[in-house]
């Protein structure tokens, strides 16, 4: 491009993605991978026509109001876009895009790891071995929960949820799900649809969350809904922390109502609720659902595809605002 558009890139991206960025744009990269403050973000955006951020940057209505007028598109390196005030972006005429589809397999893999890790007490077991506290074997030692043939509830049967269902069928799990709309039979593949979350929860030996954060889903998993799960159910969250009420989750784990939880997404990341850290029956990961080489490259290329379309005067494929 002649007079290449200036693109502010807020985090260090995979090398292949940065190579393409430098080739096609005047890219302001972040080689030290520093997390910018709001002030730094706005300052760095001066003269930029686009911002390529991650979910670690929060574009509140106030931040969007203070962005330079030259900024016309926020091309997220993430499938979630709850970190952007969509209405404020629309009001200012800023296009917002995300990167769907390309991280479904990786997130589904991580979900299965969380499910099995929580069920089979993997965190406890690894600590025993690493700390040289494993003394002997007995029939009562480290007894967990079997995954095979159990009932799996999927809250949000979108792209990731459908891949999780396919993977879980390999363990002969019975699939139950709730979503705003029922899937057609060729996608449902025998899964049991429930019109409400409350109807589904009593049928879930395992529950995994795969919905976006909206006003309706924020704090969705609260004390009342955790109480609807069968005693000893296992909870998995590889979506967003805001979907869960931490007080309710901790209480359910402490009381034994939940046998265990596998978690990759938290409220107030990266500051995880210390109560969760102190529980033996939590299997915790640092928000790495999309963290494979293949997926991170694909996410970056998808974000760049959206930028390319915008600057070519076309509609970005993944426009959300």
Catalytic residues: 240, 269, 287
H or E segment to which residue 50 belongs = strand 50-52
DSSP 65-125: HHS-TT--EEE-SSS--TTB-HHHHHHHT-EEE---STTHHHHHHHHHHHHHHHHTTHHHH
Inter-CA distances, 32 with 12, 206, 260, Å: 7, 40, 37
The CA distance from 226 to 187, in Å, is 28
Which pairs count as long-range contacts for 16-19, CB under 8 Å and 24+ apart, including other chains?
16/297, 16/300, 16/301, 17/296, 17/297, 17/300, 17/301, 17/303, 17/304
The CA distance from 154 to 192, in Å, is 10
Radius of gyration from C-alpha coordinates of the chain = 21
Starting at the earlier edge strand, list the strands of the sheet with 258-263: 192-193, 174-178, 151-155, 206-209, 233-237, 258-263, 282-284
The CA distance from 8 to 52, in Å, is 6
Q: What is the DSSP code (8-state) at residue 237?
A: E
H or E segment to which residue 154 belongs = strand 151-155
Strand partners of residue 261: 235, 282
């Amino acid at each position: 491009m002649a007079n290449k558009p200036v693109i502010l890139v807020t985090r260090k991206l995979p090398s292949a993605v940065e190579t393409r960025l430098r080739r096609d744009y005047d890219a302001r990269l972040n080689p030290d991978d520093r997390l910018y403050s709001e002030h730094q973000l706005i300052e760095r955006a001066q003269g930029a026509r686009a911002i390529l951020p991650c979910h670690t940057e929060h574009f509140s209505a106030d931040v969007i109001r203070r962005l330079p007028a030259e900024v016309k598109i926020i091309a997220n390196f993430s499938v979630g876009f709850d970190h952007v005030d969509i209405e404020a972006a629309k009001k200012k005429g800023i296009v917002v895009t995300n990167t769907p589809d390309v991280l479904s397999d990786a997130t589904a893999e991580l979900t299965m790891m969380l499910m099995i890790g929580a069920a089979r007490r993997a965190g406890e077991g690894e600590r025993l071995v690493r700390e040289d506290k494993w003394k002997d074997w007995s029939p009562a030692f480290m007894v967990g929960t079997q995954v095979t043939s159990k009932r799996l509830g999927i809250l949000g049967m979108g792209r990731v949820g459908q891949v999780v269902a396919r993977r879980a069928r390999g363990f002969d799990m019975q699939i139950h799900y709730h979503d705003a709309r029922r899937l057609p039979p060729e996608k449902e593949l025998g899964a049991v649809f429930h019109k409400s979350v409350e109807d589904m929860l009593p049928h879930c030996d395992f529950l995994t969350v795969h919905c976006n954060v909206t006003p309706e889903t924020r704090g969705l998993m609260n004390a009342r809904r955790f109480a609807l799960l069968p005693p000893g159910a296992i909870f998995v969250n590889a979506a967003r922390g805001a979907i869960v009420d931490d007080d309710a989750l901790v209480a359910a784990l402490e009381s034994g109502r939940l046998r265990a939880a596998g978690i990759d997404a938290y409220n107030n990341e990266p500051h995880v609720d210390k109560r969760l850290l102190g529980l033996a029956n939590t299997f915790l990961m640092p928000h790495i659902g999309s963290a494979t080489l293949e997926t991170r490259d694909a996410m970056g290329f998808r974000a760049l595809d959206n930028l390319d379309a915008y600057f070519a005067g076309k509609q970005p494929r993944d426009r959300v605002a």
